[in-house]
Amino acid sequence: MREIAGQDPLGLQTITTDRILPGLLPGVLALSVRARYLSIYSFLLRRYASTGGTADNDGLDDFMRKREFEVCIAANLCPRCDAESVIGNGVGRPLATTRPKEYARQLSVKSHLGGYGLYYRSPMEELGVIVRRGQGLVGEEPNPIDLLRKNNRAQALADHYEAAVADTRWYRDWMHGVDPVPAEVLEELGQVGCLCRLDEHGPERDAIAAVLLSAPSAERAEASEQRRRAFALVLDLAAEHPDVVYSDASFREAILSRFIADPRADDAAGQARARWAAAVMRESAQDPLAAVWTSFCRAGMAAQPFDGLTRSELKQVIRERLIGSSEVVFAGTTIPCTPDTPCETWLESLTHATSDMSWEEIRETAG
């Protein structure tokens, strides 16, 4: 046995994040909650192309990450929010707390193309907003750089963010310079361009909604319909359980309750509930599995000699270290367990003890 880093050693959560969620919610990020980046990156892509920068992604990378840093500082200087989930906070937040009079130009994050490359590039391609390098033609040659599409849905995103920041000194005088940016310039940007200000810019918000809720092409119609159903499901649940938009636990519990109430519904809403309920039940299973595996690995690491364990020695570790004379507690009911307890007997005790618990309560206890 080898001890390795990571919180998902069996890869169970990775399957949910990388395989299941993209099918249930295509084009919507699981790793970032900031919708306004869709319009910010659209604006930056078009701005870079229109100002005659080097026509390659390396030039775009430098431009993107420096503008990300400035937007990050602006968000941290915004008096309205705490700049939560802003890309570049690892660099920008500690610096902003010192309140310097000006900010030297620097990169937001280490990754190529910044948060755009890390998080938003693939969803923006799925949503029909960008053309990746090499995926289109400029004349007769493949495009050498990521480009914003020329369609109305993509251009509207850039138009509205540009309109929001057009009167700022950052936009007029400082975007393309090399000198340190005065703090008051970024404070002004934060008042209109911060991620939290989207509610003050109705047309921009509508443009983002249009991109998320409409199909960019006939080929993506099915994926777009799946995305609309997911949004409709969340909004429907939120009408009765407002916490579902903030709490994963509340969302899981609400989904299962709705599905259990009408498990055979086969209309669009019923199909959406069934698919999400299946994903939720997978979450309920994978957390205790991961907990069991982690305990198994820790016990094995503590017990194994230099040459490892034989089959009989491993069985002994399981009997004595993992099971032993242990007990579990569900809803105040203590269930004893010994290595020789029949599985059916233990399962009957568990089923009885958890009969009045919700699946979310069981998941939290077992995990």
Average pLDDT across the chain, whole number: 92
pLDDT at 367 over 70: no
Among 9-13, 32-36, 270-274, 318-322, the range scoring the smallest mean pLDDT is 9-13
> Can you state the percent helix, strand and coil of the chain, rounding each to 5?
60, 5, 30
Model confidence pLDDT, tens digit, residues 241-273: 999 998 989 999 999 999 999 999 999 999 999
pLDDT band at 12, cuts 50/70/90? Answer: confident
pLDDT at 121: 96
Q: What is the mean predicted confidence (pLDDT) over 38-48?
A: 97
pLDDT band at 327, cuts 50/70/90? Answer: confident
Among 267-271, 347-351, 360-364, the range scoring the smallest mean pLDDT is 360-364
Q: What is the mean predicted confidence (pLDDT) over 147-153?
A: 96
pLDDT at 22 over 90: no
Please give the full DSSP string across 188-231, using - where no structure is assigned.
HHHHHHSGGGGGG-HHHHHHHHHHHHS-SSGGGHHHHHHHHHHH
**Higher-confidence position of 326 and 171:** 171
pLDDT at 140: 87
pLDDT at 11: 81
pLDDT band at 141, cuts 50/70/90? Answer: very high
pLDDT at 360: 85
- Residue 39: how many CA atoms within 13 Å on its side-chain side? 30
E-assigned strands of the chain? 102-103, 130-131, 137-138, 141-142, 147-148, 181-182, 326-330, 333-337
Distance CA 362, CA 25 (A): 26
Residues 132-163, buried b or exposed e (16+ Cβ, 10 A)?
ebeeeeeeeeebebbbbbeeebbbbbbbbbbe
Model confidence pLDDT, tens digit, residues 55-89: 999 999 999 999 999 999 999 999 999 898 899 99
pTM over 0.75: yes
Distance CA 129, CA 90 (A): 28
Q: What is the mean predicted confidence (pLDDT) over 103-122?
A: 96
Tell me the residue type at 360.
E
Q: What is the mean predicted confidence (pLDDT) over 269-288?
A: 91
Residue in this structure with the two tokens 């949503």, named with its chain if needed:
127
Contact 142, 134 (CB under 8 A): yes
pLDDT at 5 over 80: no
Sequence-distant contacts of 80-87: CB under 8 A, at least 24 apart: 80/194, 80/196, 80/197, 81/194, 81/195, 81/196, 83/194, 83/195, 85/32, 85/33, 85/34, 85/195, 86/34, 86/195, 87/32, 87/37, 87/114, 87/115, 87/118, 87/119
pLDDT band at 294, cuts 50/70/90? Answer: confident
Tokens of 263: 């498990």
pLDDT at 2: 58
Contact 68, 114 (CB under 8 A): yes
Cα distance between the two ends of the chain:
23
Contact 255, 280 (CB under 8 A): yes
